[in-house]
Structure 1
Amino acid sequence: MSMDSLDSAQRADIRAQLDRLLVSPGFATSLRRGQLLRYLVERVLASEEINEYSIGLDVFDKPPSFDPRIESIVRTETGRLRRKLKEYYTGQGRTDKVQIEIPLRSYKPVFTFREPAAVAATTRKPFHPAILVSGLALSLIAGAFVARQWHPRPQPIRSLVVVPFRNLSPDKSEEYLSDGITDELTNEFASWKELRVAARTSAYLYKGKGVDVRKIGQELNVDAVMEGSLFRQDSHLRVTVQLNRASDGYNLWSQSYDARSPDLLTLQREIALATASAMRDLVGKIQNPIRRPSTNNPEALDLYLQASYQYARLEPASIEKSINLFHQAIEKDPGYARAYLGLAQAELELTNFQAPEKGRVRARKALLEALRLDPDSGDVHGLLADLAAYIDNDWPRAEREFQLAIQKGAQPSTHAAYGWCLARRCRFSEAQDQCTAAQNLEPLGVAPRFCQFYVYFFQRQYSQARKKLLEALDLNPNLIYAHSQLALVAILEKDCPEAARRFEWSAPKLPESAVTMSLAYESACRGETERARRYLTKAAGLSTPAPNFELARGYALIRDSDAAITYLQKAAATGEPVALLLREPFFDKLRSDARYVALERVARLEP
């Protein structure tokens, strides 16, 4: 039967039959056999080419050097698959509605639809095998593809959000696993050019809240919502996934998986394959639907997921933990590009709380290794743009990297970062365009709000700037940076009690140098110049001193122009992001100073 002649109901029947086969005794105890069958069926349904070489790479994880003329694994395993299909249809599946066969000397399955009368002749009890596997084996279990009554013309899915999976494990520390599966699936679907996938930060606003999928769809402007749960106890791991249409909450697909090992590599690949299968009729032909895994080392993946979980908390102590975990992941797999990217992000984030010089050196080293391993990563190019703009004062290179990152599909936060940089260079219209692009991709994201904050802040529109920070805090009340920036806005508006309140909230989560600088800013706001000066002297003399740029800001607030200029010069000499901070309102009274103008030239800013 021609694939083009199949309607959506027939395709659903084929996939339901595939799932029925995979829980039968001949397939449930062999993960690889099931993967091979699913791969072949899905390739045929998508009218995609099948050859021995691609099967070797995609199913059997062979390297690009694989030569099917020398290694016979594909031919051997396909022969075994044919025999198992024959055994199934002469036994348990003899009355099944759909018959799947693989002809000799071919890898393309053919499908035969049997007469309904023959199917109705026998009623069978559901089969629920006890699946015993070893090592990393994984089997598909109850649920399979839920074959429902399909609409004749189903609405296509063009956008999707993966909301955080619920952790149902007795041990709540397993939450990093449920978050990790959420993130891995989000990354996978984000690589599908046919789909717009809501960013992580928007999705995580719904974590643990049980929000109706229809409301989620409306707020994020997506067609479908994927959700699920994870349960792990001892060596047993179960993951349940479902895909719902956002317009009416209709359940399009659901499936459950069992694993007897903490190895998530096979599990995530199986979930992605099954989801690709379920979504093909809804999305259409998907180009290269499943990417090769970013690591083949299960220990490295587990450490990476723990590191990502700690990093997402964005607190100094948790970021330090994430850096240690990223290093451990890299030790397990030195070719793990995403671990290097995560390490670079964490090192750069930590520079917001500590002296930045060494952290930036480490971040650059990790980022260049990530680029070597994955030169097409949009997120890597986005961070390279940040380094070029903030550290290297090389705006032409930064702008090229930003544009390349966006072209290669970087996260919405890259649009936002580009907008921040444009705002700091007083290119406000272009900056707003990037903020809008980030907002469209991430309607409930924090990054677009920060982007808009900077557009207003550098135009000295403080009430609008404050509004955007408050919107960010509505989305995530624990954003330290938002509280700190609100304090600085309050100082500019001479609202010293508000500044003190915001700094007081942040203090327990900040290192000593940042707390000391907060006290200096508060004192300066109240006009207590000598007290502010003492705090500034203390902050500069700590074992981990405050960044030179913050010291410059403090001296500018007490109108000590000489000290402010001196620390700005030190900041430029030590690689702090002077190019993108000189235009802060705190330095407005210095702009006519010849030394300040010289710094602008060094930073390649127009006077």
Structure 2
Amino acid sequence: MTQQERPAAAAVLEQLNRIVSSGEFDASERNRRFLRYIVTETLDGRADRIKAYGIATAVFERDSGFDPQTDPIIRIEAGRLRRALAHYYLTAGQSDPIRITVPKGSYVPNFACMPDAPVVPAQAERTRHGGRRIRPWMAVAPVLLVLLTLGASWAGGFRPFGENVERQTPVERGPRIFIAPFEADSATTDHAGLASGVTRDIVAGLTRFEEMFILAPETSLRHGAREDLVALVRDLDVDYIVSGGLSATPERMRVTVALVDARSRQFLWSEAFEGDLSAGDPLRAQMQVADRVVRALAQPCGVIFNVRVRDIRGAPPGSLTSHECVLEYYRHYQGARAGYRAVTATPAPTPALPRFAGEGVP
């Protein structure tokens, strides 16, 4: 078949089932429903109705008050869905006859026949080896598994292979962060709208970090008063809460931001940021302050990174999620770089180990 052919609806549905049942499709159950929804709506001739609002109410169980302009959940999850599809087609789906993609800027999927790809029934994808096709690289899998097991045993403390160790299934996600509405300390200032503006800019800035799940202030409206922290944590499954207050004079603004552990209610971090209002451009000052807050919170080795690393330090490797493994990598990388700079800057002799005197550690 050629690349220009449009696959039949039955073939697309078969490909959809092949994807969502594959272990290489690294997506949550909710994103699997997301994919099923947009594919079936398109096949049923309702592609023009596939909008953020419809997806939010049909798949993500949002109510009729959902506003895609203030709640970015659909944009965030669509990005994750695109990455999961790309990973699938790089692994288990390399030889699949049909490619399903979700182009950026739209939620309507594309279906394309792959050139010279044999049509393989969904059931034929499965074998007695764990339900996956056997590929050449799988011949070395047992050796890699042994090496990884030994490495994990060394890193997390050796355990006998016969020991029955209870493990929890890791959750494949980053932190969920609720941004509480920032409060203006004085209603008499000429810049009373700055507090809500700073809040919106911080939400917009944090959503650029796709490993974080950001919940905007409007998300809490259906959960009652935001002071009810226990209900908020239970209903939204929040990890952290970002809150703040703003005070302003005609010349300056000061924003104090705090990061709170949503479950323990412990204050983890707080800092004040100032902006210049004397130039007569409050919008520019608002954006600059919000950008500094976002960078302090979310940049690599920033506040949230350090808090997460502290929480997982010493945890057995097998209990870490994929996101936490990435955090551990960066922590070791930063530590290795710091150690390298220290050793190469001061290569003092080591009396206890004379053989290594003056040698740098890469």
Tell me which interval the TM-score lies in, with the shorter structure as reference length. Answer: 0.3 to 0.5
Compare CA radii of gyration and give the structure with the larger one.
Answer: 1
TM-score, reference length from structure 2: 0.32
Question: Which of 1 and 2 has higher RCO (CA within 8 Å, sep 6+)?
Answer: 2
Q: TM-score, normalised by structure 1?
A: 0.20
More helix per residue: 1 or 2? Answer: 1
